[in-house]
């Protein structure tokens, strides 16, 4: 073996999931040779999951797109970047001339949340598109939590996260961080943190219709009937109220609006009245209430199982109601607010009061579903495409998404995508969705991009900041992802396919500088914009924006106006400071932030939001509804990541993971045998899938993971095609949504089972 001529080690945050682990990447002669956990990372301390090291396989994957594709004579063929942008312009001009901007739709997928380029440059792109038809993966995910948080605290990302490192009792509903590594609570190494919690005498209660790996690590597992978390949580509040155990405490009490109204509205939901519907003994519900009241500190935390459900927003709100009535909001060991180093709207503007949020500023054309936080629910995307009439979507942009596998009633969406007049995708793969595109614009691989978790660090269980420069250089001619988005923005603005993307970049920075110097609460209030712009030289693109956000953020150097320590041992932040600290900067454990964090109009926690109270009537109406014999829920596997990492051989090899989990009683009842095929039928469609019999699921509940169903003609995922699995979203229903948020219902789907073939 010859020694490499150059050998270097890079430290990089993993962009694949919300845990944001630190990676140590070894590069020999420009080739990545090894990726392992960065033991010196201030947040993850060396933790890594099997996916983290596969950034190398993704980079090297021959199926990963490196050149743009254009459709010619029905086929997608490689083209130059100039040809591709010229084709986008041609398609755009035609659609706008024929149908106007409202005929354009856009779908933004999950990886955008982990992507600095996208987080900065999607905004000008959407603005340039000028359409209301904006959809994203948020409405098959966390929109209920964002909406509940927006109503309570005044900001969609002002989400109270569980302080898992200090709590005495963690009550977790509908989350399985041992497989998912956590969500809406950024924390690497949940298993380690939970072990540490139990070692210091803390307790874990898991509420899940499946006995997950997380449930196995718990002190108590409550196997709830799917879709009923809101009933359970409401009954726990009432149990506390009836025992005189509601006590927000001196800190929270004066800040909460409408507590009595809420307690009264929840009174009909008692442990006894909900017991049958939730499938748990009333005594177990009372026990949960008592434990919450008695624990020195406690926190309730709900995720996918509670948000992608029929009462997602009410359940998400009730999680916070419980944290409030037990006095656990905003105190160590409870549910707390992160103070992020960059980009958080709850660290800008006047502290403690704001404009709150307005939703329903417009409605979807066909079903009249309300806009929330600037988007329409993705559950209505297909009908907006396939229902003729003025305003029908005729053209789409997707950025980092695969809605044909990820969104409800996906077979309908697949047909609708095939019928579009024009479709432009920004994606690194030709997947089940992007195979319909007329133009595909591939951004660089994750290892070729700088990284800062602008969104997810706003939800971290510890205040940290960490920037990673690109590990590998861009390929020849390869534009960075921000340049692709900026050029699309320019085309949509009518500036032409060959305009300079730096125009957009300069505008973004100038706008942000303008608002920083105009913000009375900012450290740079009243300073000269030209002076700040000069100080940001010579950086460009997302890095320049990040430097600005860090320097004007709560730990920033204020462009020289802040001196001393901003946290113990930490100098005022700028991008240079982060670059000098490749393992990240630890800004310490979460601190109490009420009332400063609030941006509601009243300056209070608005607990009694009308639309939530109104939805309790809908909740009460299900108490006596007949129960479906079998319902479907999802699940996640540690070696999988939504729909797009099944092309990595090391992750998919071995036993098939896309199987139907069936309880032994149900297997017998429906004559299903292990390893045999079951036909699962729902209102929207049916799939044939391999049966795995296990008592880890509750009787009457079957479980199928999402993101599978590969091997469709026209996609280019050769490994995934050999491990195709079936698409669970053929079974989920686009017509059933959580009413306040319009979020899709992906759990608790009524299905029928029969033995196949
Ligand atoms: N039944 C059911 N359905 C679900 C869920 C469930 O639990 N059950 N979960 C839902 C959830 S939580 C989510 S978040 C959604 C995810 O839904 P989507 O966001 O629609 O799908 P992903 O599988 O994340 O696809 C991401 C795409 O981004 C591409 N990509 C990866 N990195 C980059 C990049 O850096 N730039 C660009 N431009 N593209 C990139 C990948 O190639 C892939 O095509 O699925 C949802 N669907
Ligand atoms: N390995 C892996 N990690 C991932 C992802 C992935 O696809 N694979 N996706 C990432 C994304 S985009 C997200 S949003 C996060 C999600 O992270 P989590 O929220 O932790 O998601 P899941 O692991 O799907 O856990 C949801 C749990 O809810 C349970 N459940 C289903 N219905 C109900 C119900 O009605 N009530 C209750 N109480 N529980 C219910 C399911 O059985 C499941 O165990 O994971 C992220 N991390
Ligand atoms: S847990 Fe998430 S962030 Fe950490 S290595 Fe795995 S995929 Fe990457
Ligand atoms: Mo998600």
Site to probe by mutation for ligand 1, drawn from 142, 400, 442 as the one with most ligand atoms within 8 Å of Cβ, is 400
Cα(183) to ligand 4 centroid in Å equals 8
pLDDT digits 0-9 by tens, 20-33: 999 999 999 999 99
Residues 6+ apart with CB under 8 A from 662: 670, 672, 678, 691, 692, 693, 694, 697, 702, 753
**Average pLDDT of 470-480?**
97
Burial of 345 (0-12, 13-18, 19+ CB in 10 A): middle
How much is the pLDDT for 382? Answer: 98
Cα(172) to ligand 2 centroid in Å equals 11
Buried-exposed string 718-739: b where 16+ CB fall within 10 A, e elsewhere? ebbeebbbbbbbbbbbbebbbb
Cα(33) to ligand 1 centroid in Å equals 27
Tell me if 305 CB under 6 Å of ligand 1. Answer: no
Cα(44) to ligand 3 centroid in Å equals 10
**Residue tagged 């919450």 (tokens):** 292
How much is the pLDDT for 2? Answer: 76
pLDDT digits 0-9 by tens, 444-457: 999 999 999 999 99
How much is the pLDDT for 1? Answer: 59
How much is the pLDDT for 345? Answer: 96
* Banded model confidence at residue 757, pLDDT cuts 50, 70, 90: confident
Tell me if 705 CB under 6 Å of ligand 1. Answer: no
**Average pLDDT of 376-385?**
98
* Banded model confidence at residue 663, pLDDT cuts 50, 70, 90: very high
Residue nearest to atom 28 of ligand 1 (CA): 400
Angle at 343 between CA 341 and CA 348, to 5 degrees: 90
**Residue tagged 């718990």 (tokens):** 218
pLDDT digits 0-9 by tens, 534-586: 999 999 999 999 999 999 999 999 999 999 999 999 999 999 999 999 999 99
Tell me if 461 CB under 6 Å of ligand 3. Answer: no
How much is the pLDDT for 249? Answer: 97
- Nearest residue to 99 via CA among 140, 133, 64: 133
Tell me if 310 CB under 6 Å of ligand 2. Answer: no
Q: Which two tokens stand for residue 518?
A: 């105009």
pLDDT at 630 over 90: yes
pLDDT digits 0-9 by tens, 718-733: 999 999 999 999 999 9
Cα(167) to ligand 2 centroid in Å equals 22
Tell me if 402 CB under 6 Å of ligand 2. Answer: no
Determine the Cα–Cα distance for residues 104 and 132; give it in Å rounded to an integer. Answer: 9
Determine the Cα–Cα distance for residues 606 and 96; give it in Å rounded to an integer. Answer: 42
Tell me if 319 CB under 6 Å of ligand 2. Answer: no
How much is the pLDDT for 711? Answer: 87
Tell me if 174 CB under 6 Å of ligand 2. Answer: yes
| Nearest ligand, measured from the Cα of 706 | 1
Cα(343) to ligand 3 centroid in Å equals 22
Tell me if 399 CB under 6 Å of ligand 1. Answer: yes
Q: CB of 52 within 8 A of CB of 16?
A: yes
Q: Are strands 256-257 and 104-108 parallel, antiparallel or unpaired?
A: unpaired
Residue nearest to atom 7 of ligand 1 (CA): 634
Q: Are strands 686-693 and 660-662 parallel, antiparallel or unpaired?
A: parallel
Cα(137) to ligand 1 centroid in Å equals 7
How much is the pLDDT for 213? Answer: 98
Determine the Cα–Cα distance for residues 735 and 459; give it in Å rounded to an integer. Answer: 31
Q: Model-level pTM?
A: 0.98
pLDDT digits 0-9 by tens, 87-137: 999 999 999 999 999 999 999 999 999 999 999 999 999 999 999 999 999
């Amino acid at each position: 073996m010859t020694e490499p001529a150059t050998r270097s080690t890079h430290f990089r945050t993993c962009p694949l999931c919300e845990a944001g682990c630190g990676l140590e990447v070894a590069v020999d002669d420009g080739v990545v040779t090894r990726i392992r956990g960065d033991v010196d990372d201030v947040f993850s301390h060396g933790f890594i999951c099997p996916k983290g090291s596969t950034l190398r396989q993704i980079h090297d994957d021959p199926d990963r797109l490196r050149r743009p594709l254009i459709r010619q004579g029905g086929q997608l063929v490689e083209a130059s970047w100039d040809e591709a942008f010229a084709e986008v312009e041609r398609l755009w001009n035609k659609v706008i001339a024929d149908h106007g901007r409202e005929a354009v739709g856009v779908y933004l997928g999950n990886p955008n949340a982990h992507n600095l380029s996208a987080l900065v440059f999607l905004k000008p792109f959407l603005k340039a598109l000028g359409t209301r038809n904006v959809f994203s993966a948020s409405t098959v995910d966390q929109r209920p939590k964002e909406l509940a948080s927006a109503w309570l605290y005044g900001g969609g990302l002002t989400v109270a996260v569980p302080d898992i490192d200090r709590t005495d009792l963690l009550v977790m509903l509908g989350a399985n961080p041992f497989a998912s590594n956590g969500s809406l609570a950024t924390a690497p190494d949940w298993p380690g943190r939970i072990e540490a919690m139990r070692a210091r005498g803390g307790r874990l209660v898991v509420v899940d219709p499946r006995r997950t790996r997380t449930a196995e690590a718990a002190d108590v597992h409550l196997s709830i009937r799917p879709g009923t978390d809101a009933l359970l949580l409401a009954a726990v509040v009432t149990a506390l109220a009836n025992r005189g155990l509601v006590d927000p405490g001196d800190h929270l009490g004066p800040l909460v609006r409408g507590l009595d109204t809420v307690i009264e509205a929840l009174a009909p939901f008692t442990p006894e009245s909900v017991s049958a519907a939730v499938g748990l003994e009333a005594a177990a519900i009372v026990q949960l209430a008592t434990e919450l009241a008695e624990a020195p500190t406690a926190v309730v935390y709900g995720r996918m199982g509670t948000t992608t459900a029929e009462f997602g927003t009410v359940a998400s709100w009730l999680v916070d109601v419980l944290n409030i009535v037990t006095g656990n909001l905003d105190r160590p060991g409870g549910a707390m607010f992160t103070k992020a180093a960059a980009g958080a709207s709850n660290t800008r503007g006047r502290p403690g009061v704001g404009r709150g949020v307005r939703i329903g500023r417009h409605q979807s054309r066909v079903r009249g579903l309300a806009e929330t936080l600037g988007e329409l629910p993705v559950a209505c995307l297909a009908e907006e495409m396939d229902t003729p009439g003025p305003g029908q979507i005729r053209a789409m942009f997707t950025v980092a998404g695969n809605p044909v596998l990820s969104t409800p009633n996906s077979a309908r969406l697949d047909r609708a995508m095939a019928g579009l007049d024009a479709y432009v995708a920004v994606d690194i793969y030709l997947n089940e969705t992007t195979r319909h595109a007329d133009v595909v614009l591939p951004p660089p691989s994750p290892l070729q991009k700088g990284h800062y978790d602008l969104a997810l660090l706003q939800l971290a269980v510890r205040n940290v900041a960490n920037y990673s420069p690109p590990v590998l250089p861009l390929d020849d001619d390869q534009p960075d992802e921000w340049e692709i988005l900026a050029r699309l923005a320019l085309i949509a603005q009518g500036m032409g396919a060959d305009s300079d993307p730096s125009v957009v970049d300069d505008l973004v920075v100038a706008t942000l500088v303008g608002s920083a110097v105009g913000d009375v609460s900012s450290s740079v209030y009243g300073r000269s914009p030209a002076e700040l712009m000069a100080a940001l030289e010579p950086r460009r693109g997302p890095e320049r924006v990040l430097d600005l956000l860090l320097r004007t953020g709560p730990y920033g150097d204020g462009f020289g106006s802040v001196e001393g320590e901003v946290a113990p041992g930490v100098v005022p932040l700028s991008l240079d400071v982060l670059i000098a600290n490749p393992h990240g900067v630890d800004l310490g454990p979460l601190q109490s932030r009420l009332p400063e964090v609030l941006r509601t109009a009243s300056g209070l926690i608005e607990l009694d939001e009308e639309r939530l109270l109104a939805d309790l009537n809908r909740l009460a109406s299900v108490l006596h509804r007949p129960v479906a014999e079998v319902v479907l829920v999802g699940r996640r596997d540690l070696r999988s990541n939504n729909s797009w990492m099944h092309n990595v051989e090391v992750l998919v090899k071995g036993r098939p993971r896309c199987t139907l989990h069936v309880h032994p009683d149900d297997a017998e009842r429906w004559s299903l045998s292990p390893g045999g095929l079951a036909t699962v039928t729902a209102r929207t469609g049916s799939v044939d899938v391999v049966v795995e019999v296990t008592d880890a699921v509750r009787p009457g509940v079957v479980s199928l993971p999402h993101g599978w169903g590969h091997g469709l003609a026209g996609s280019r995922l050769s490994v995934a095609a050999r491990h195709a699995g079936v698409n669970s979203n053929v079974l989920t229903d686009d017509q059933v949504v959580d009413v306040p948020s319009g979020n899709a219902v992906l759990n608790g789907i009524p299905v029928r089972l029969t033995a196949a073939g």
